[in-house]
Amino acid sequence: MELATLEPGDELPPVTIEDLQGSDMKLGAALLQDPYPPHFDERTAEEMGYPRLLNQGPFNLSYLLQCALQPAASPTALESFDTRFHAMVFEGDTVTASATVDSVRKDNTDGKPEAVTFSIELTREDGTVAVDGTATVRVPDE
């Protein structure tokens, strides 16, 4: 699975993150200094109508980028991302990140691939798309 040989329609192996842990969400809230209670406070989360602790948006983005960066030698190959957050993800959920090649940008002079843009999607077990968008990964020079 090399970036330089990918073509539109190719799919990367999906990345599944099982049984999201509330302890990770609490650690994330502390690291981000995020005071939004549903990320760390079960009682307030319940009072606000959430079934369990709420996963942070950047966590969900991380699962997607981990999937899209699988063929890259270094994460610094990431050129850009554009993501839309549609549905919430909660403690105990299992989510799957997928990445499908949308387009390949090629050099105007020699036609060599410069960057691959993936359509990315994070799906909950019930099939709900929580986050989608695109991620573009640079192809390293030979």
Partner 1 sequence: MDPTELEGIELPSGEYTVERWKAFLWADATRNDDDTFRYDDDAIEAGENGQLVPHTLCQHIAFEATGGIESTMGRLADDWTSGAALGQLRATFHGPLEVGQTVHVEGHIANVERKEGSSGGLTIVTHAYDVRTPDDEPIYEMEADMILMEGA
- The residue (of 10 and 79) whose beta carbon lies closer to partner 1 is 79
Which residue's CB is nearer to partner 1, number 85 or number 90?
Answer: 85
How, if at all, do strands 129-138 and 95-106 pair? unpaired
Q: Report the residue number, 4 or 31, with the smaller CB distance to partner 1.
A: 31
Q: How far is the CB of 19 from partner 1 (least distance, A)?
A: 10
Which tokens sit at 127? Answer: 């099939």
Nearest distance from residue 8's CB to partner 1, in Å? 22
Binding residues for partner 1, per CB under 8 A?
Answer: 17, 24-25, 27-28, 31-37, 57-59, 61-63, 65-66, 69, 73-76, 78-85, 133
For 142, residues 6+ apart whose C-beta sits below 8 A from its C-beta are 4, 112
Pairing of strands 95-106, 78-85: unpaired
Cα-Cα end-to-end distance for the chain: 16
